[in-house]
Chains A and B, each alone.
Chain A
Amino acid sequence: MARVGLRHLTVTIAGASALVGLTYLLDPFRNYQLATAAAYLCATAGLTLLIGLNGQVSLGHGALMATGAYTVALLPSGMLLLSVAAAVLVATLAGAVVGVAAARLRGPYLAGVTLAVTMVVPAVTTMADAVFHGDQGLSVAAPPAPLWVAPERWQAWQAIAAAAVTLFVLANLLRSRFGREWRAVRDDEVAAQLAGIPVARTQVLAFVVSAACAGLGGAMFAVLAQSVSPSTFSLTLSLYLLLAVVVGGLGSLAGAAWGALLLVLLPDAIHSVTDGLPLGPDLAQRLTGNLPLAVFGLTLVLVVLAVPGGLQGLLVRAVRRLR
Chain B
Amino acid sequence: MRTILHRGLTLAAASVLVIAAAACGGGSSGTPGVTASTVVVGTHQPLTGPASPGYSKISVATKAYFDHVNAHGGVHGRKITYRVMDDGYNPANTQQVVRKLVLSDRVFAVLNGLGTPTHTGVLDFLKTNRVPDLFVASGSRSWNQPAKYPTTFGFNPDYTVEGKILATYIKGNLPNRKVCFFGQADDFGRDALAGVRQVLGAGTIATRQSYVPTNTDVAPQLSTLKAAGCQVVVSATVPGFTALAVATAARLGFRPQWVVSNVGGDKTTLAARLGAAGAPLLDGLVSAGYLPAVDEPANPWTVQFRKIAEEYAPDLEFDGNVIYGMSVGYLFVQALQAAGRDLTRTSIVDAVTANGFTGPGMVPLRFSAGDHSGYGGLRVNRVTGGKQAYVGPVYVTDDRSGPVREYTEAAPTPPANAIPVG
Q: Is the CB of A285 within 8 A of B48?
A: yes
A226-241 with Cβ < 8 A to chain B: 226-227, 229-232, 234
Q: Judge whether A285 and B56 touch: CB under 8 Å.
A: yes
Known contacts being A135-B91, A281-B60, A285-B48, is A25 close to B19, with CB within 8 Å? Answer: yes
Chain B residues with a Cβ under 8 A of chain A? 4, 6-11, 13-15, 17-19, 21-22, 25, 27, 47-49, 56, 60, 86, 88, 90-93, 95-96, 99-100, 103-104, 116-117, 120-121, 124-125, 128, 185-187, 210, 212-215, 313, 315
Contacts of B88 in A (CB 8 A): 289
Let me know if A34 and B18 touch, CB within 8 A: yes
Cα distance A253–B19 in the bound complex, in angstroms: 22
A227 CA / B126 CA spacing, docked (Å): 13
CB contacts (< 8 Å) of A229 on chain B: these are 91-92, 117, 121
Residues of B within 8 A of A230 (CB): 214
Tell whether, in the assembled complex, residue B117 and residue A137 are in contact, meaning their CB atoms are under 8 Å apart: yes
Residue of A nearest to B123 (CB): A139
Residues of B within 8 A of A29 (CB): 25, 99-100, 103-104
Q: Is the interface of B mostly helix, strand, loop or mixed?
A: helix
Additional A-B contact list (10), CB under 8 Å, known A7-B4, A27-B25, A30-B104? A14-B8, A27-B104, A30-B18, A126-B215, A136-B120, A139-B120, A261-B17, A290-B48, A319-B6, A319-B9
Cα(A140)–Cα(B121), bound, Å = 9
Distance in angstroms between the alpha carbons of A137 and B9 in the assembled complex? 40
B91 pairs with A231, CB closer than 8 A: yes
Q: Once the chains are docked, how many angstroms separate the CA of A316 from the CA of B92? A: 35
Q: Chain A residues near B17 (CB, 8 Å)?
A: 261, 265
* CB of A80 to closest CB in B, whole Å: 15
Complex Cα distance, B116 from A122, in Å, reads: 18
Residues in B neighbouring A133, C-beta threshold 8 A: 186
Whether A289 touches B86, Cβ cut-off 8 Å, given contacts A30-B21, A134-B186, A232-B92, is yes
Q: Mark A257-288, 1 if CB is under 8 A from B, else 0.
A: 11001000101100000000000011001101
Which residue of chain B is the closest to A267 with respect to CB atoms? Answer: B96
Asked if A195 CB lies within 8 Å of chain B CBs, one says no
CA distance A134 to B15 in the complex (A): 38
A131 contacts B by Cβ under 8 Å: no
Which chain B residues border A253 with CB–CB below 8 Å?
7
Q: A29-B103, A261-B17, A286-B48 are in contact. Are A225 and B10 (CB under 8 A)?
A: no
The count of chain A contact residues (Cβ–Cβ below 8 Å) is 54
Of all A-B residue pairs in the complex, the 5 with the closest CB atoms, nearest first, are A289-B48, A29-B103, A232-B92, A29-B104, A136-B186
Distance in angstroms from A5 CB to nearest chain B CB is: 13
* Alpha-carbon distance A234/B88, docked complex (angstroms): 13
CB of A151 closer than 8 Å to a CB of B = yes
Report A-chain residues with C-beta under 8 Å of the C-beta of B7: 11, 15, 253-254
Q: Which residues of B contact A257 (CB under 8 A)?
A: 10-11, 14
> Which residues of A lie under 8 Å from residue B116 when comparing CB positions?
136
Q: Is the CB of B103 within 8 A of A27?
A: yes
Q: Give Cα A282 to B317, complex, Å.
A: 12
19 A-B residue pairings within 8 Å (CB atoms): A11-B7, A15-B8, A18-B15, A29-B103, A29-B104, A30-B18, A129-B185, A134-B186, A136-B117, A225-B95, A232-B91, A232-B92, A234-B92, A254-B6, A258-B14, A289-B86, A312-B10, A315-B6, A319-B9
